[in-house]
């Protein structure tokens, strides 16, 4: 049976703004308080989805969340009508309002961790929504994320959904941004690669000193248990604490994997050689031939990797066995990174082509091509069981671009977030979107 890796890209929400909310994310903090363009951001993301679809890749879309999160603000003591809640928050705690308006759910690499049916004990595709409890503005996402994923992958014969892990520091879980899967073919059993920044209980593992390590070993182990993964199909690796302190807040900022290949920076991990040996050995037992592509620090520094988001790229398999790398325009703008990529593609190795996309609106908030997509490996039967409304087609692309043009603002500043009309605009847009994507009632304003 044929199998696919489907990229479900996050649709940028109507409240996309530069709140500078993500401590440890250099781009997010450096662009704080600038005016954003939600319409441009959403259209840039849709253009990438359309381009990949036209290249022959399976492509889907994942809906944004309701913002501002009025229910969350009520839980924090603000009261009255929706407009009064927003007004009080703006006057008394503007940072909370900004956090409650974040469109960070666009980065669906953090939505969940996904294990395909070929790896799991019960032969179903498993989803665990990420608790994202390191940052308030992201910790409020997982209830709606779970409902949206449940509406997309509803057939319990093929799909299993798990609630987010306990929302405590010991089980900090950032989803697929710290998870990669290696395999010979997408439909065959593979090796799932979990990268963590620290251990909650084992002091033998060093921790970063400047920025927080968002993913714990214990969270990764819990997800592997929930998904019914066998020990011979899992590898755990620790991210290098020193690169976290340089702004590498997720593993997908310093490494990306696909198929049998891992594309990574020389300084990405601790105990790299031991990790590579384990990956190679376990993948070999499952019929695969592991390939490591190391980018030396002498050619690309960690600073250049963070500023260009070289590794926050999409590594895609093509029919001829080669791979295509999807990178943000910032890679082309960085002379050292672009020189490295030109040498890489001309060397005759596995990565033969690089395609550049303009994702400036997302990049300025700290998310590149890999942040915008959740990868789900599906066989033909499972793909047929996915809600067809979320699979990208040319007509859906046209409908969504018209929807964005109709509902999104082309400029948003911090003061605009205090406008109660923005909430009404967002709800009107999302109510229409659930009909377009055939999701049913998934948002709080539709349920309550």
- What is the Cα–Cα distance from 136 to 93, expressed in whole angstroms? 14
- Tokens representing 410 are 């082309």
Half-sphere exposure of 347 (CA within 13 A, CB side): 12
For residue range 322-340, list pLDDT tens digits in order.
Answer: 999 999 999 999 999 999 9
Name residues whose C-beta falls within 8 Å of residue 204's C-beta, 6 or more positions apart in sequence. none
CATH code of the domain in which 359 resides = 3.75.10.20
CA distance 357 to 342: 16
- The 10s digit of each residue's pLDDT in 205-247 is 999 999 999 999 999 999 999 999 999 999 999 999 999 999 9
Provide the residue range defining the domain that includes 156. 3-67+102-447
What whole-number distance in Å separates Cα of residue 72 and Cα of residue 166? 18
Q: For residue 52, what is the enclosing H or E element?
A: helix 38-54
b/e burial code for range 9-46 (CB count within 10 A of at least 16 → b): bbbbbbbbbbbbbbebbbbbeebeeeebbbbbbbbbbb
Q: Are the C-beta atoms of 82 and 420 separated by less than 8 Å?
A: yes
What is the β-pairing status of strands 3-10 and 59-62?
A: parallel
| Mean pLDDT, contiguous 10-residue spans, the chain (448 residues) | 96 86 46 78 96 97 97 97 97 94 95 98 98 95 98 98 97 97 98 97 93 95 98 97 92 96 98 97 98 97 95 95 95 96 94 93 84 97 98 98 97 92 97 98 93
Is residue 174 annotated as part of the catalytic site, yes or no?
yes
250 labelled catalytic: yes
The pLDDT value recorded for residue 28 is 43
- Map residue 335 onto helix, strand or coil: helix
- Which candidate in 5, 40, 66, 174 is catalytic? 174
What pLDDT is stored for residue 24 in this prediction? 45
Residue 28 within any structural domain of the chain: yes
pLDDT, residue 29, reads 45
In a domain, 86, yes or no: no
Which of the residues 371, 382, 407, 426 is marked catalytic?
A: 371
Burial class (CB in 10 A: 0-12, 13-18, 19+), 209: exposed
Using alpha carbons, list the distances in angstroms from residue 370 to 110, 114, 180, 279, 314.
Answer: 10, 15, 12, 22, 5
89 in any annotated domain: no
Give the pLDDT score at 21: 54
- Asked if the bond preceding 68 is cis, omega within 30° of 0, the reply is yes
Residue 73 located in a structural domain: no
Query: Strand order of the sheet with strand 125-129?
Result: 112-115, 125-129, 159-162
In a domain, 82, yes or no: no
Q: Is 266 a catalytic residue?
A: no
Identify whether 42 is part of a domain: yes
Read off the tokens for 150.
């449940």
Total domains in the fold of the chain = 1
Q: Give residue 178's pLDDT.
A: 97
Give a yes or no: residue 95 inside a domain.
no
The pLDDT value given to residue 19 = 62
Close Cβ partners of 26 (under 8 Å, ≥ 6 residues apart): 247, 306, 307, 366
Q: How far is CA 74 from CA 79, 89, 168, 301, 427, in A?
A: 6, 10, 21, 45, 17
Is residue 94 in some structural domain? no
Pseudo-torsion of CA 50, 54, 57, 61, nearest 10°? 20
293 forms beta bridges with 263
Look up the pTM and report it.
0.95
Closest by Cα among 160, 154, 152 to 437? 152
pLDDT for 266 equals 98
How many CB atoms lie under 10 A from the CB of residue 347? Answer: 10
Instruction: State residue 22's pLDDT score.
Output: 45
Strand order in the sheet with 234-238: 179-182, 191-196, 234-238
């Amino acid at each position: 049976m044929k199998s696919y890796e489907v990229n479900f890209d996050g649709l940028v929400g109507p409240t996309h703004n530069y709140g500078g909310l993500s401590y440890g994310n250099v781009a997010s903090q450096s662009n704080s308080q600038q005016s954003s363009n939600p319409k441009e951001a959403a259209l840039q993301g849709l253009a990438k989805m359309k381009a990949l679809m036209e290249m022959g890749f399976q492509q889907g879309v994942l809906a944004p969340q309701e913002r501002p999160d009025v229910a969350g603000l009520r839980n924090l003591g603000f009261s009255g009508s929706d407009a009064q809640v927003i007004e009080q928050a703006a006057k008394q705690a503007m940072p909370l309002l900004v956090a409650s308006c974040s469109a960070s759910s666009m980065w669906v690499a953090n939505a969940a961790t996904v294990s395909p049916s070929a790896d799991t004990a019960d032969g179903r595709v498993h989803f665990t929504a990420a608790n994202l409890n390191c940052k308030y503005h992201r910790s409020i996402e997982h209830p709606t994320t779970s409902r949206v994923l449940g509406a997309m992958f509803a057939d319990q014969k093929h799909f299993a959904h798990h609630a987010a892990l306990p929302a405590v520091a010991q089980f900090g879980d950032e989803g697929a941004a710290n998870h990669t899967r290696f395999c010979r073919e997408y439909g065959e059993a593979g090796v799932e690669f979990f990268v963590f920044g620290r251990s909650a209980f084992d002091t033998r593992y060093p921790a970063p000193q400047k920025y927080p390590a968002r993913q714990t070993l214990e969270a990764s182990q819990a997800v592997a248990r929930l998904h019914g993964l066998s020990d011979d199909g899992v590898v755990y690796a620790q991210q290098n604490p020193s690169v976290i302190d340089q702004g590498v807040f997720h593993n997908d900022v310093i490494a990306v994997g696909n198929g049998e290949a891992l594309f990574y920076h020389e300084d990405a991990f601790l105990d790299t050689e031991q990790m590579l040996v384990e990956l190679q050995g376990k993948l070999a037992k499952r019929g695969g031939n592991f390939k490591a592509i190391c980018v030396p620090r002498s050619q690309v520094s960690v600073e250049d990797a963070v500023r260009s988001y070289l590794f926050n790229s999409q590594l895609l398999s093509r029919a001829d066995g080669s791979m295509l790398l999807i990178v943000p325009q910032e890679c082309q703008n960085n002379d050292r990174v672009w020189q490295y990529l030109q040498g890489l593609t001309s060397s005759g190795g596995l990565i033969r082509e690089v395609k550049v996309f303009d994702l400036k609106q997302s990049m300025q908030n700290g998310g590149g091509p890999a942040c915008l997509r959740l990868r789900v490996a599906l066989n033909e039967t499972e793909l047929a069981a996915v809600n067809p409304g979320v699979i990208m087609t040319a007509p859906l692309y046209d409908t969504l671009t018209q929807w964005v043009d109709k509902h999104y603002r082309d400029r948003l500043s911090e003061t605009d977030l205090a406008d109660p009309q923005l909430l009404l605009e967002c709800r009107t847009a999302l109510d229409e979107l659930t009909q377009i994507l055939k999701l049913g009632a998934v948002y709080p304003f539709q349920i309550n």
